[in-house]
Amino acid sequence: MTSSHGSGSDGLHEQSPSPCPRGNAAPLKQSLKDSGFRADTPFRIPWPSGDAAPLKPIALRDEMWEHKVVTVTMPDDFRELLDEREQPDKELRTRLSAHFYSVGSVGIAKAADMAGMTRWEFERWLHAHGVEMPWREADLAQELSSVRKFAGE
């Protein structure tokens, strides 16, 4: 993830399908190549705190590269606040996973995986941060109808 500021864009978007309109991926790509990274080697994303993120190794091909970069454009205020956090990458990743879980885009197991936590660690985090079960009225109606079916047996 790279951050830039001052463009006044909409915040978060994936750079696809046209690769890197602002040319952000190119320096990253070059610096990775300089550091001996080969596009066909599986790699682990380095974690600021030193504790290894339990990510599955991802193999990136050169031609896929631009599509894997997510650029977050945000004002300086964000940057200053994030700099104060102990593990900004981990926090952003967890919060984003919790968001996609809470709007019902992914299930809890998948979201926990995306957050780099076990299901139970993620459950604890969600509870501590007041993230509710993504149930809608229809889910409750279905549950009550299930109860009626069993109660009638």
Size of residue set near another protein by CB under 8 A:
32
119 binds another protein per the rule CB under 8 A: yes
- CA 92-135-151 angle, 5° bins: 150
Between 83 and 149, CB nearer to another protein: 149
Residues 128-147: x/- map of binding to another protein (CB under 8 A)?
---xxxxxxx-xx-xxx-xx
Q: What CA–CA distance (Å, rounded) separates 79 from 98?
A: 21
48 binds another protein per the rule CB under 8 A: no
Distance between terminal CA atoms of the chain? 55
Between 68 and 124, CB nearer to another protein: 124
Minimum Å gap between C-beta 121 and another protein is 8
Q: Under rule CB under 8 A, which residues in 50-109 are in contact with another protein?
A: 104, 106-109
Q: Enumerate binding residues for another protein (CB under 8 A).
A: 104, 106-110, 113, 118-121, 123-124, 126-127, 131-137, 139-140, 142-144, 146-147, 149-151
